[in-house]
Amino acid sequence: MIKGLAFIPPDRDRRAAVLPSGRVRILLDYRSALRNRTGVGEFAHNMAAALARLDGSADQLTLFSSSWKDRLVTDAVPGAAVVDRRIPVSILNFAWHRLEWPPVEHIGAPADVAWSLHPMLMPAGSAAQVITIYDLYFLDHPERTAGEVRRDYSTLAADHARRADAIIVCSEYTRDQVVARLGVSAEKIAVCYPGAPGWVARQQPSTAGPILHVGTWEPRKNIPALQKAYLDVVSGRPGAPPLVFVGGHGSFASLVRTEDSELLRTHIRATGYVTDDEKLRLYREASMLVMASADEGFGIPALEAMTIGLPVVASNRGALPEVIGDAGLLVDPDDADAFSGAIRRVLDDRALREDLARRGVERSRRFNWDASATIARSAFETAIGRRRKRA
């Protein structure tokens, strides 16, 4: 526990937290949730929904979006107002990140808090400025990022973090990284864990279902390490379940070496983005979830898998140990033998599968969107106080 920080660990009942008094106008950057929601988009959407339904809240929540081609529907989040501008994302981001103009109130709505769902501040007139930092992978490997992340994050994130009135993070791991590497006081940081989906756990773990990887293919997901471990499994048992990649991907063929081209046809497949219903079906049918990430600020697929009672084999890096605890098998992702050995254990050991499923369901109950929204709401009010002091 950090003194002065509105944070309650996930192994305690955070629903008992009390909302601060006073009406707050919250302007939330909803652009990451417009379509094909990845982890960032899921966080933006579900935190918005939770803020809108907080008990006893008289706040005004406004979702802000700007895009040339994607429109924000008026009922995206029940109870929230919508501002949808036809401004290309790349143009507005350049103006905001590099010119710090225009103030979001001028193109959005009057606000007491301007909440950015990424590490860059939204320019504001009088509103308190809040940013969100999921991880600091972009500092270590800017060459593995693209677009505005490569152009702006590595050079501007530290300055924006220090100037922000509050910072939202998704894990203690990221909080500690931000304090140590960006020179930010821990008192300015609120940990808001993503919440578990409202899914009913399946009755029995599957033994023959696909091995799932859920998430966008990007360098930090460490796909080559996962591929190497999986090929080691298949080499010893040709009848192993297929490895199924769920989420956005680039060149699928580039994942499989030429000498393994037959495996591309027989053992590995990719679905691309899927609907929420289809994702739930895949989780229910799978034998396990695998994550070989080099770094994670949280790891929403791990929480989703635990909620459904799906065993997890994951990297021991980043926030994954914090999220999974003893409810999954944590291994060094660069140790192919260890990773493939963990996959085999789940496939072969029924008692282990049942134990991991039980532990996962129990652990998933510690993560709650409404509790995290309460923590964020408290951070907003503190941020408003900071903004007023420096006005």
For the segment 99-108, the average pLDDT, to the nearest whole number, is: 96
CATH code assigned to 14-195+368-385? 3.40.50.2000
Q: What is the pLDDT of residue 18?
A: 41
Q: pLDDT at residue 65 above 70?
A: yes
Q: Give yes or no for a contact between 142 and 154, defined as CB atoms under 8 angstroms apart.
A: yes
How many Å apart are CA 129 and CA 123, to the nearest integer?
8
Mean pLDDT comparison of 38-42, 126-130, 150-154, highest-scoring range: 126-130
Classify domain 211-364 at the CATH class level: alpha beta
With a pLDDT cut of 70, the percent of the chain lying above it is 90
Q: Is the pLDDT confidence value at 295 over 90?
A: yes
Cα–Cα distances in angstroms (integers) from residue 142 to residues 137, 219, 228, in the given order:
8, 11, 25
**pLDDT surpasses 50 at 203:** yes
Residue ranges covered by each domain of the chain: 14-195+368-385, 211-364
Q: What local confidence, expressed as pLDDT, does residue 264 receive?
A: 60
| pLDDT on residue 313 | 98
pTM of the complete model: 0.90
For position 312, what pLDDT does the model report? 98
Q: What is the mean pLDDT of residues 338-345?
A: 97
- Of 57-66, 74-83, 246-255, minimum mean pLDDT range: 246-255
Q: What confidence category does residue 206 fall into, taking pLDDT thresholds of 50, 70 and 90?
A: low
Decide: 30 and 114 in contact? Cβ < 8 Å: no
Mention every residue, 6+ apart, whose C-beta is less than 8 A from residue 159: none
Q: Taking residues 297-301, report their average pLDDT.
A: 96
At 296, is the pLDDT very low, low, confident or very high (cuts 50, 70, 90)?
A: very high
Query: 374, 389, 384: which is closest to 20 by C-alpha?
Result: 374
Q: Say if residue 19's pLDDT is above 60.
A: no
Core vs surface per residue 160-179: b (16+ CB within 10 A) or e: bbeebbbbbbbbbbbbebbb
Give the pLDDT of residue 11.
42
Whether the pLDDT of residue 166 is over 90: the answer is: yes
Query: What percentage of residues in the chain have a pLDDT greater than 90?
Result: 75
So what's the pLDDT on residue 252?
53
Higher-scoring residue by pLDDT: 374, 264: 374
The mean pLDDT value for 78-97 works out to 96
Judge if 14-195+368-385 and 211-364 fold alike in CATH terms. yes
Give the model's pLDDT for residue 5. Answer: 30
Greater confidence (300 vs 203) lies with 300
Lowest-pLDDT range of 22-31, 252-261, 318-327, 377-386: 252-261
Average pLDDT over residues 248-263: 58
Quick one: average pLDDT of 117-131? Answer: 97
Distance (Å, whole) CA 132 – CA 41: 12
